[in-house]
Structure 1
Amino acid sequence: MTHLSVEMLAADATEPITSAGHAQLGIAVLAGIAVIVLLISRFKLHAFLSLIIGSLVLGAVAGAPLEAAIASFSAGLGTTVAGTGVLIALGAVLGKLLADSGGADQIVDTILAKASSRTMPWAMVLIAGIVGLPIFFEVGIVLLIPVVLLVAKRGNFSLMRIGIPALAGLSVMHGLIPPHPGPLVAVDAVGANLGITLALGVVVAVPTAIIAGPVFSRYAARWVDIHPPEQMLHTPGDAAAGRTGDGPDERPGFGITVATVLLPVVMMLAKALVDIVVDDPEHTVQRVFDVVGSPLIALLTAVIVAMFTLGRAAGFTRGRTAATVERSLAPIAGVLLIVGAGGGFKQTLVDAGVGQMILDVSKGWHISTLLLAWLIAVAIRLATGSATVATISAAGLLAPLAAELSTTHGALLVLAIGAGSLFFSHVNDAGFWLVKEYFGMNVGQTLKTWSVMETLISVVGIVCVLLLSLVL
């Protein structure tokens, strides 16, 4: 999924690059997506190139000037890479240090010793839910990927049996639980109570994560039976690591390894708590934690700490540590380009006015406010690929209706919007390409697993919200 800051979203609020009507925009969206899918699946063209061509086709069919479509795509690519590229790179460095030092092995051995094959998916969704509470989806992925891949390999699990629960835990947190930016802005836009939203969000998140994670992973593993991709799996002693032995002579302890991995989580959670408690952007304490708890600083700090707590514990020299960092960056080059191009395609959709088209069309619908909120968020999500854009656009449209709702139903409105914003991630979502590349799947496999999982989260989420609305 594409996760953008509020500042980035403000940049999206520009005049459309085309004056096309709703029908023409709808055709343009379908044409752009069809071209991307056809080029990748039929002609085996690289996803990066396919996304560029699909974006240009979208702009052309929508009647946008070519230079405007190019500018939109470039801006979206740049924004996405700026927002997630450095985080992915830092996460890759942390993951490589975790793997080469034997720290990931230590975590895997401990988890395998404590959890049976029956309970492993449940353990993964719990870990992902806790880790994903204060951090962006992309950050959570790069923190958990080394553990997910090694657990799948060492435990001889299908990657989907372990990966889907982890992805579900992260995605549910992102869409439903503050302090993620989408839910926070939605809470503010509709005037909902933050504490009640958090409490009800947890009530909705638990069954949703269970059904979309451990339960659905049984079926996903049957549909797509794959194993960890070698290019993403860095195990001690492999040829790519440039090692002659079977691994380091010593491994860092389980406690210090977990503490190192959770360090950025704790830093970002501290920022979130300070933001809620202090609630004054000019206050010195909040300004300090805004810096300390930013994803960039938190991950950078974790990488530097890992060089000592993991690298030194495994006997790494300075040269060895530098070589490990260098080797960690090569495998993610393609991932960065594809994720960036997905962001470019999303921005072309937004700038063409597709999101506004969905809002305009939905204004005449006469249904339950909660269901309307979900449907509007679903439509914007499908069109733009951005969960955060869908959340904030839907919240803005429905804000006037929130004044008539009770305190609990105002919180449920935020959750309905959040659930809708996660519906069916596909080729216009940068997160789709991120998951595809990390797990070594093709487009069809990603649709059958990740996209279906996201849809389950969305549907189960709104069902839980509607049920709660009947009793609260």
Structure 2
Amino acid sequence: MILSDMSQGSYHQMNSLIARFRINPFIVLFSVSILLALVAGMPADKVVGSFEAGAGHVLGHVGTVIALGTMLGKMLAESGGADRIALTISNISGRRHVDWAMMLIGLLVGLPVFFEVGFVLLIPLAFVLADRTDTPLLRVALPMGAALSITHALIPPHPAALLALSAYHANIGLTILLGVLIGTPIAVIAGPLFGRFAAARVVPIGVNPLAQQFVNSEPPASLPGFGITVFTILSPVFLMLAGSMSQGIIAPDTTLGAILRFVGNTDIALLLATVLSFYVLGQARGFSRETILRFTNECLGPTALIMLLVGAGGGFGRVLVDSGVSKSITDAALGAHVPLLVLAWMLAAIVRVACGSSTVAMATASGIVAPILARSTGVSPELMVLVTGAGSVTFGPMNDAGFWQLKEYLGLTVPQTLKTWSVLETLIAVCGLVFGLIASIFIH
């Protein structure tokens, strides 16, 4: 419990230093991580190494995703492709319902890709759609983020959901079906409904350089076709889906299987899509190679702080795990005598807040609860997967890379991000548990 209080205190301390004293968030995350580890009794010679390992692990994947996704988004904006998609969406859905359209797009794109991948693919579209339809950015972006978070946590074939599915011996088809049935109303509540509520009360302050580079220029007189634009932005989704599906269909030792898994890798799929955009949205639209190079160089500048904060969040999470804070809180939760569905949700929520990663939270919680489920009766393994996934997105804490990614892209302050993104994630988590418990009355 002492370690739990220390963990909670560290969140309040970080929020105060960043919001009240205007200290750079990276310095705060790094400093608080070191102090927390030392107070928890972690050997001084291991503290910095733990932070660096966590930061490097997260940045090794997320940094590449952010860089490639930003380049792809820049080409989408400069070519007029984002305007073409925005115009088509607004014509179909109407300006009053663009948030519902972004929720549906997020659900579809989010099925085969990680949250951070779907986010960097769709955020340029959110910028342009909000600008062209004169809609508050939060009203467009939050439904998209909610949909991506829900598919990431609840619906296979995402790795964390697959791990939980394997641990609980759940049926994948039934899990997907229940995930869609339960996840869709949650997306409506946490997406368009909460997005409209939040957008009316939280207004980003100051100039957002990331939004400026996508919406400042006037759209070209001639816009690219809708079909080729959508194909370009969804090409990494198709490649990742093909790579994922090939694992269960094509033998791993065949050439075709190896190729599909290679191009289906997140980084490779994004790289291929970005290179494709250089031609389809670049040279084919009349841009010279020098102009395309300038676009790709210019767009990376505003992402530097995002990458630093994402890495620092990963470092902070690793320190919490290595110092024993995460294990201490988890052990305390196991002592609580609660229904199995609630226990799985609680454990996932606690690990999520302690280490930041929803994937780690879901994998850890399912690994702990699975042996208990094996000795129990009357509990649906499929619902166990879903409530564990719901618990794994609780709060959207400051040691989660997604917190800082969303904060910087949307131009929010830390308190504003807590009032919007953290509340949205908690809404998903609580609704997931409530709907799971209701479903358990009819499904055993």
Normalising to structure 2: TM-score of the pair? 0.95
1:273 partner letter: M
Task: Tell me by how many angstroms 1:66 deviates.
Answer: 2.4
Task: Tell me by how many angstroms 1:30 deviates.
Answer: 2.8
- The residue that corresponds to 1:146 in the other structure is 124
User: What is the aligned counterpart of 1:159 among 133, 137, 141?
Assistant: 137
- The residue that corresponds to 1:268 in the other structure is 240
Contact kept? 2:390, 2:429, Cα under 8 Å: yes
Alignment of 1:418-437 (within 5 A): 418-437=389-408
Deviations 1:46-85 (A, max 9, x none): 1111101110111121121222111111111111110100
User: What is the aligned counterpart of 1:77 among 46, 52, 55?
Assistant: 55
Within 1, Cα distance between the matches of 2:416 and 2:124? 21
Between the two proteins, the alignment pairs up a number of residues equal to 443
- The residue that corresponds to 2:382 in the other structure is 411
Task: Tell me by how many angstroms 1:423 deviates.
Answer: 0.7
| Range moving further from structure 2, 64-73 or 39-48 | 64-73
Within 2, Cα distance between the matches of 1:266 and 1:438? 25
Give the 3 Å change call, closer, same or farther, for CA 317–188 of structure 1 in structure 2.
same
Give the 3 Å change call, closer, same or farther, for CA 333–235 of structure 1 in structure 2.
closer
Task: Tell me by how many angstroms 1:321 deviates.
Answer: 1.1
Alignment of 1:158-177 (within 5 A): 158-177=136-155
Task: Tell me by how many angstroms 1:300 deviates.
Answer: 0.3
| Range moving further from structure 2, 82-91 or 380-389 | 380-389
Task: Tell me by how many angstroms 1:234 deviates.
Answer: 4.7
1:45 partner letter: I
Give the 3 Å change call, closer, same or farther, for CA 303–148 of structure 1 in structure 2.
same
Task: Tell me by how many angstroms 1:406 deviates.
Answer: 6.6
Within 1, Cα distance between the matches of 2:200 and 2:30? 33
User: What is the aligned counterpart of 2:22 among 19, 32, 44?
Assistant: 44
Contact kept? 2:40, 2:325, Cα under 8 Å: no
Task: Tell me by how many angstroms 1:111 deviates.
Answer: 1.4
| Range moving further from structure 2, 321-330 or 446-455 | 321-330
Contact kept? 1:193, 1:407, Cα under 8 Å: no
Contact kept? 1:153, 1:227, Cα under 8 Å: no
Deviations 1:318-363 (A, max 9, x none): 1111111111211101110111111110111111122221221122
Residue segments in structure 1 that go unaligned for 5+ positions in a row:
1-21
1:456 partner letter: L
Within 2, Cα distance between the matches of 1:408 and 1:26? 30
Contact kept? 1:229, 1:439, Cα under 8 Å: no
1:156 partner letter: D
- The residue that corresponds to 1:250 in the other structure is 222
Q: Give SS of 2:411's match.
A: coil
Give the 3 Å change call, closer, same or farther, for CA 32–296 of structure 1 in structure 2.
same
Contact kept? 1:31, 1:57, Cα under 8 Å: no
Give the 3 Å change call, closer, same or farther, for CA 44–333 of structure 1 in structure 2.
same
User: What is the aligned counterpart of 2:297 among 326, 338, 349?
Assistant: 326
Contact kept? 1:270, 1:293, Cα under 8 Å: yes
Within 2, Cα distance between the matches of 1:103 and 1:445? 31
Alignment of 1:48-63 (within 5 A): 48-63=26-41
2:244 partner letter: A
- The residue that corresponds to 2:349 in the other structure is 378
Residue 345, structure 1, aligned to residue 316, structure 2: yes
2:394 partner letter: F
Q: Give SS of 1:428's match.
A: coil
- The residue that corresponds to 2:187 in the other structure is 209
Task: Tell me by how many angstroms 1:364 deviates.
Answer: 2.2
User: What is the aligned counterpart of 1:219 among 197, 206, 209?
Assistant: 197
Deviations 1:179-233 (A, max 9, x none): 1111111111222222221111111111111110011112111220338954112
Give the 3 Å change call, closer, same or farther, for CA 281–405 of structure 1 in structure 2.
farther
1:402 partner letter: L
Contact kept? 2:147, 2:191, Cα under 8 Å: yes
Within 1, Cα distance between the matches of 2:429 and 2:255? 39
- The residue that corresponds to 1:18 in the other structure is none
- The residue that corresponds to 2:364 in the other structure is 393
User: What is the aligned counterpart of 1:231 among 209, 217, 226?
Assistant: 209
Alignment RMSD (CA, Å) = 1.9
| Range moving further from structure 2, 80-89 or 423-432 | 423-432
- The residue that corresponds to 1:102 in the other structure is 80
Contact kept? 2:208, 2:410, Cα under 8 Å: no
- The residue that corresponds to 1:445 in the other structure is 416
Contact kept? 1:28, 1:58, Cα under 8 Å: yes
Within 1, Cα distance between the matches of 2:115 and 2:378? 29
1:318 partner letter: R
Task: Tell me by how many angstroms 1:404 deviates.
Answer: 4.1
